[in-house]
Amino acid sequence: MTVRAIFRKWIDRYFSDEEAVILLVILLMGFAAVIFLGGMLAPFFTALVIAFLLQGLINILTRRHVPEMIAVASVFLLFIGVMLALGFLLMPLLWNQLVNLVQETPRMLTSAQQWIVELQSHYPTLIEPDAIQNWVSSITKEFSVYGQRAVSFSLASLGNVIGIIIYLVLVPILIL
């Protein structure tokens, strides 16, 4: 038996059913669409998942004889209210934490410097003063590099922030 005959037999065995071939093609096209268009389809998938989750609340309300339109409107308003509350509560907290970190960094560096000097005074034979100066200068350089990276990262992530704002606008619209 030749390789061609073996291959032909394998194809006939597994791909003779038209429905299996159609299912395979549909799955491959779906995977390709998700892989190549995933960034553009992400708001749609997010809205789909959130709508699926909110449908449970709507079903509970309709089982309790609440009209479906009122149930949908109330669940949607509840969702929007929770998202806005989370945004308004978490954003100031995160901003304050970031400001505190920036304000406390010099104090932490000074404290680390004092600790290293104190360590050297307790163990003068173990740690040399030149080594301490090298450590302090390298730590200062590293923190300045990290500060520059943080600023460049914050500027680079501006596009992501705009994307999140777009999500916050599009997802509720797509849920409806």
* Position 176 confidence tier, pLDDT thresholds 50, 70, 90: low
Two structure tokens written together for 54: 């909110």
Evaluate if residue 45 carries a pLDDT over 70: yes
Long-range CB pairs of 32-41, under 8 A, 24+ apart, other chains included: none
Contact 46, 167 (CB under 8 A): yes
Domain count, the chain: 1
Residue predicted with more confidence, 82 or 129: 82
**Cα(5)–Cα(170) distance, rounded to whole angstroms?**
54
* Position 67 confidence tier, pLDDT thresholds 50, 70, 90: very high
Please give the mean pLDDT across all residues of the chain: 81
Structure confidence at residue 33 (pLDDT): 86
- For the stretch 13-31, pLDDT in tens is 777 777 878 888 999 998 8
Evaluate if residue 61 carries a pLDDT over 90: yes
The closest of 62, 80, 79 to 71, measured between CA atoms, is 62
The percent of residues above 70 in pLDDT, for the chain, comes to 94
Which residue segment(s) compose the domain that 151 sits in?
3-175
The closest of 155, 168, 154 to 98, measured between CA atoms, is 154
- For the stretch 85-127, pLDDT in tens is 888 888 888 878 877 877 787 788 788 778 877 877 787 777 7
